[in-house]
Structure 1
Amino acid sequence: MKTQEMALITRDALLLPDGRLELNIITPHHLRMIADVCKGKYPLAFGMLKANGTPPCYPSVTQCEIIDFNQLNDTSLSIVLEGKQRVKILSAARQRNGIWMARTIPSSNWHEEPIRGEFELISAALEQFFEVNPNLFELYSKIHLEDASWVSQRWLEVLPLYNKDKLTLINQPDCHQTMEFVLELIKSHAD
């Protein structure tokens, strides 16, 4: 497999393929990095923050694209990222300008599959979650509540779990364990 160098941006959040996330970019070195990404100098990867880590994130990250941006009143930049491809960090180094660059290798994305049976409950619950969180819902031009993989990944992005616990579910070969986890969580709160 071919490795690729990517700029790395980290936050205490999760972004998976087909997910969307809005970030504020404040620091000058991150603004320059975003400009370089937009100019096509290198691709961008988003990683979940790992305290006291080198690199400052877990090794499973998501290559993403900037799909929208706005300059805010305080001159910071708001960007919307869309996850594209899961990748694994092989090595990373912080450059003199403060930007982390990572050597990555592609990982497998979860495959699309229909959501069926009792798991339709997690799809309906996600739809309700989007209704009460319109700012998140507005990031998506289309939602895929019929796709178990898409629904599972959106739940992992929004559930308040420790990043290391999310990582355990992310590193599964498919969405089945995440679907089971979310279904049990919903059932336990319905009682």
Structure 2
Amino acid sequence: MRTQEMALITRDALLLPDGRLELRLVSPNHLKMIADVYKGKYPLAFGMLKANGNPPCYSSVTQCEIIDFNQLDDNSLSIVLEGKQRVKILSAARQRSGVWMARTLPSCNWSEEPIQGEFELISAALEQFYEVNPDLFELYSNVHLEDASWVSQRWLEVLPLYNKDKLKLMNQPDCHQTMEFVLELIKSHAD
């Protein structure tokens, strides 16, 4: 496996493989970075914000692609990112422009697996969550409610958990612990 340099964008949010997230960019430095990503100078990675961190995110980040963008009325830029590959930050440095660049190494994405038995409840609950939150649902052209990994990762992205707790779940070798956690959460609120 070889390392790769990536531009780093951070927010207090989580983006995992096959997930989508809409961001608003105002800073000229970030706009220039996005232009450089489009020109193929380097790939883009999205990291979950870590307070007082150096770099300003946890070391597990997701390489992503910009799949859509719009200029907003206030001249800021709205971009939609799609997560592709989990990567680990080996080192990072802040450029004079204020943009962070990171040396990364690929990590394993969770494998697809069918959602079965009582875990179908977390899939149905996610479908209901998207019905109540159409702005999130509209980001997806395809939903994979039959795939346990896809469903688990979408729950991690939207659950109101501390980032360090999300990190513990997402750093597991597969989606099973996340599925158990979400199922217990749903059952505890159903009583």
Q: Which runs of 4+ in 1 moved over 4 A?
A: none
Report matched runs for 1:170-185 at 5 Å. 170-185=170-185
2:25 aligns to what?
25
1:47 aligns to what?
47
The two structures have a TM-score, normalised by structure 1, of: 1.00
Q: Distance in 1 between matches of 2:171 and 2:81?
A: 21
Q: Distance in 2 between matches of 1:145 and 1:103?
A: 34
Deviations 1:14-66 (A, max 9, x none): 00000000000010000000000011100000000000000000000000000
Letter in 2 for 1:110: W
* Residues 1:140 and 2:140 are matched in the alignment: yes
1:122 aligns to what?
122
Where structure 2 has 5 or more consecutive residues not aligned to the other structure, the ranges are none
2:75 aligns to what?
75
Report matched runs for 1:98-109 at 5 Å. 98-109=98-109
Q: Distance in 1 between matches of 2:108 and 2:31?
A: 30
- Equivalent residue of 2:13, what SS? coil
Where structure 1 has 5 or more consecutive residues not aligned to the other structure, the ranges are none
2:156 aligns to what?
156
Q: Distance in 2 between matches of 1:35 and 1:18?
A: 23
Q: Distance in 1 between matches of 2:73 and 2:187?
A: 43
Letter in 2 for 1:84: K
- Equivalent residue of 2:75, what SS? coil
Q: Distance in 1 between matches of 2:18 and 2:28?
A: 28
Report matched runs for 1:61-72 at 5 Å. 61-72=61-72
Aligned length: 191
Shift of 1:100: 0.1
Letter in 1 for 2:74: D
- Equivalent residue of 1:145, what SS? coil
1:89 aligns to what?
89
Deviations 1:60-110 (A, max 9, x none): 000000000000000000000000000000000000010100000000000
- Percentage of matched positions with identical amino acids: 87
Letter in 1 for 2:62: T
Q: Distance in 2 between matches of 1:54 and 1:64?
A: 21
- Equivalent residue of 1:181, what SS? helix
- RMSD of the TM alignment (CA)? 0.2
